[in-house]
Amino acid sequence: MTTITDTPVFSVEGLWKVFGPKAERVPADPELASLPAAELRSRTGCTAAVRDVSFDVRKGEVFVVMGLSGSGKSTLVRCLTRLIEPTAGTIAVDGEDVRAMDRTRLRELRRHRAAMVFQHFGLLPHRTVLDNVAYGLEIQGVGKSERRTRAREVVTKVGLEGMEQRRPGQLSGGQRQRVGLARALAVDPEVLLFDEPFSALDPLIRRDMQEEVIRLHREEGRTMVFITHDLNEALKLGDRIALMRDGRVVQLGTPEEIVGSPADDYVREFVRDVPREQVMTVRTAMRTASMEEAGNGPAVSPNATVSQAIEAVARSGAPARVVDRGRCVGVVDSDALLGVVAGTTPVDADNDTDATAGDQAAAAVGGDSAAGSQAAVAAGSRAAGAAPVPGKAAPRTRGQAPQSPGTDSGAL
């Protein structure tokens, strides 16, 4: 089991943000709290941007909040450092209550523990790249030469060396966002908060920047909270994804859980066009191996994606073995793999491996998804959060280029 037991970096419980007159009464009154958005506005003049959201962000993970525009995700991330004051609920950072912080303490939180990257970069146009990157340190009162030295290091780290003396106006969109990223990194924060950082960029640049984030995460293992409206981006980057709609979290789980067992029709509609074979792992599709199967055939890791297994099976013409730490834990054959791709996987529920809760939830989907949705809906905002994180390597693999054929392990 790979469950991480540390205290979460962020722990959010029953968080509400209501805009409008006398906003406090909405979360307090169960009747108002359950009203749909339009009715709430006509009755109280208030808009609930975030409704009763709970989740934990664990140390070292990339936690993605994903939703369409207006779903409240940007408001949510701003509530974390109280750039927007929450209406109700609790937020704890490393166990410390954020809503109870006084001004000095809050400033301390923003200066040292959580730094944010913005959609439209939020750079100061009158400063050079270097001074923009050093700005956070300047705010903290770090001396000029020291902050410049540190800024220079970060500028190199994000690949902007040689551009230190330019101004934001002279940079391309991707370069500007690198500056934004560098500015956040320069203060060496515990958590990086990204608010749709790449949605203003061209597709190719966006992919570069996503790779950059993956690389940084691999190198430093920094906790990240990433807001996006782009499902592919969420699946690519996220260790866990919270899917928001109308201010609520409708499903929270690993990319595999979201794609494999959508909590309701909304999520199912959302993930319909996702190439499942690139998200689902062979864990979902494998069955117990017979004695002869355990001995031969190509080997894949349990965390390898279905598309990698398909390649291996197609090359060898025989079912592939799923090998975990040298032990064969099951096999996948072409039927099972096709079933995943088609979305009709009759998954073997009784594989004897260390199947995770997520796998079971996925398994429960089976042909009719009612049971699965119920489970995930019950998981609602919090319970699903209990799902353990799969091995760190697996999500990263998704970010990589396709594996070479016949590889022995899905993880790098």
Partner 1 sequence: MATITAPALRVTVPGFLKHRAVHKLLALALAAAVLVPIAHAHWPGTTWPDALTIDLSDPLTRVSDWIIDNRDSHPLFLYFFGHISNAVVLSVRAVYLVLLGLGWAGVTALGALVAWRVAGPRLAVGTAVAFLTCGLLGMWVPTMQTLALMVVAVLASVAVGALLGLAAGLSDRMDRALRPVLDTMQVLPAFAYLLPVVLVFGIGVPAAVLATVVYAAPPMARLTSLGLRGADKEVLEAVESLGATARQRLLTARIPLARKELLLGLNQTIMMALSMAVIASVIGGGGLGDRVYQALASVDVGAALTAGIPIVLLAVVLDRVTAAAGRGTGESRRTRGTYALLAATAAVAVLGRLTGRLDWPETWTLGIAEPVNRAVDWMTEHLYSGVPVVGGTADWAAHFTTWVLDPLRDGLQWLPWWSVLLLVAALAWLIGTWRTALTAVLAMAAIGVLGVWQPSLDTLSQVLAAVAVTLVLGFATGVAAARNERFERLLRPVLDVFQTMPQFVYLIPVVALFGVGRAPAVAAAVVYALPAVVRITTQGLRQVDAAALESARSLGATGGQQLRQVQLPLARPALLLAVNQGVVLVLAVVIIGGLVGGGALGYDVVFGLAQGDLATGLVAGAAIVCLGLMLDRVTQPADRRAKKGA
- Give me the residues that bind partner 1 (CB under 8 A), please: 78, 81, 83, 107-112, 115-116, 118-127, 135-136, 138-140, 167, 180, 183, 187, 193
What gap in Å lies between CA 188 and CA 113, rounded to an integer? 8
**Cα separation of 404 and 374, whole Å?**
38
**Shortest reach from residue 54's CB to partner 1, in Å:** 23
Q: For residue 63, is it left (φ>0), alpha (ψ between -120 and 50) or beta?
A: beta
Q: Which residue has the tokens 């697996």?
A: 394
Q: How far is the CB of 178 from partner 1 (least distance, A)?
A: 15
94's torsion region: left (phi>0), alpha (psi -120 to 50) or beta?
left
The SS3 call for residue 238 is: coil
Q: DSSP of 291-325, one letter per residue?
A: HHHHHSS-EE-TTSBHHHHHHHHHHHSSPEEEEET
Please, what is the minimum distance in Å from the beta carbon of residue 180 to partner 1? 8
Closest CA to 118 of 183, 26, 44, 57: 183
What DSSP character marks residue 170? G
Task: Report the sign of the C-alpha dihedral through residues 370, 373, 377, 378, in that order.
Answer: positive
Judged by beta carbon, residue 201 or residue 323, the one nearer partner 1 is 201
> How many whole angstroms from its chain centre is CA 242?
7
C-beta of 111 vs 382, nearer to partner 1:
111
Is residue 266 within 8 A of residue 67, CB to CB? The reply is no
How far is it, in rounded angstroms, from Cα 370 to Cα 377? 10
In this complex, which beta carbon is closest to partner 1, that of residue 119 or of residue 288? 119
Nearest distance from residue 389's CB to partner 1, in Å?
Answer: 27
Handedness of CA 10, 15, 19, 22 (dihedral sign): negative
Element (H, E) at 194: strand 191-195
The smaller minimum CB distance to partner 1, of residues 33 and 200, is found at 200
Identity of the residue numbered 147:
R
Instruction: State the DSSP code for 168.
Output: G
Q: How far apart are CA 154 and CA 8, in angstroms?
A: 27
CB nearer to partner 1: pick between 81 and 373:
81
Q: What is the DSSP string of 51-113?
A: EEEEEEE-TT-EEEEEE-TTSSHHHHHHHHTTSS--SEEEEEETTEESTT--HHHHHHIIIII
Give the count of beta carbons closer than 10 Å to the beta carbon of residue 262. 24
Would you say 111 or 152 has its CB closer to partner 1?
A: 111
